[in-house]
Amino acid sequence: MNRVAQFKSPRLDMNPMVDMSFLLVTFFMLTTTFKLPQPLLVDTPLSSATVKLPERDVLILSVGDDGRVFMDLDGKFTRQRLLDRMGERYGVHFSREEREAFGIMTGYGVPIEQLSTLIAMSQEERQLLHQPGIPMDSAQNQVAEWLTQARLVNPGLRIAIRADRDVPYSRISGLINTLLDQNITRFNLITEQRIEEISAAP
């Protein structure tokens, strides 16, 4: 008497896979740092360059289409030490709470005398505030002083300029001259990647 063997089809248990997916999603949600909105919108020019900025030790000078200059710097403790040096240089006292807030704040564009008022604001209030920009005229070039003190705090700092495509050339020329006066001869220009169109051969 022949017996017909009955074989069960293989079955894949997907429960562990679902659990793993939720664990990964939860991990990335808890560990991801979202980029805060910048106080100055800059429409950078197009370029075909592919050199990327390093992820740390970078000081970015942003220039709007109206010529206002903003500054941003990574590293909480670097920013706090820089704030201390600038406070001593201009005789402005910053409290411990202000130092903590400045360490995690986004870019800023006000004279050093108005910085305490800016720090005391919420992120939403800073976004609505029309910041006048860091002074960079011949009478008071605070941009140059920020650069000097920042390089003393972090000698390995890289300088980058993120300028709007419609900014007057004289403003960019003045900023570059400020860098040269500080013996900064190497700096990066931040641009938007140009997408080259590839035409098919006939």
* pLDDT tens column, 29-66: 776 655 555 666 666 666 666 777 788 899 999 999 99
Per-residue confidence (pLDDT) for residue 198, from 0 to 100: 43
For the chain, give the mean pLDDT: 84
Residue percentage of the chain with pLDDT more than 70: 79
Closest CA to 192 of 58, 59, 48: 48
Taking residues 104-116, what's their average pLDDT? 93
CA pair distance 28, 102, nearest whole angstrom: 26
120-156 burial code (b ≥16 CB/10 A, e <16): eeeeeebeeeebebbbbeeeebbbbbbbbbbbebbee
Contact call for residues 45 and 165 (beta carbons, < 8 A): yes
Per-residue confidence (pLDDT) for residue 77, from 0 to 100: 94
Per-residue confidence (pLDDT) for residue 199, from 0 to 100: 44
Confidence of residue 194 (pLDDT cuts 50, 70, 90): low
The neighbour count for residue 159, using CB atoms within 10 Å, is 17
CA angle 122, 79, 183 (to 5 degrees): 130
Taking residues 135-152, what's their average pLDDT? 93
Q: Is the pLDDT of residue 201 over 50?
A: no
Q: What is the pTM of this model?
A: 0.75
The neighbour count for residue 172, using CB atoms within 10 Å, is 16
CA pair distance 103, 51, nearest whole angstrom: 28
Q: Please report, for residues 47, 114, 118, 134, 172, the alpha-carbon distance to residue 110 in angstroms, rounded to integers and kept in the order given.
A: 30, 6, 8, 5, 18
Residue type, 100: E
Taking residues 17-28, what's their average pLDDT? 78
H helices of the chain, in order, are 15-31, 76-90, 96-103, 115-120, 123-128, 142-153, 169-181
Sign (positive/negative) of CA torsion 165, 167, 168, 171? negative
Confidence of residue 197 (pLDDT cuts 50, 70, 90): very low
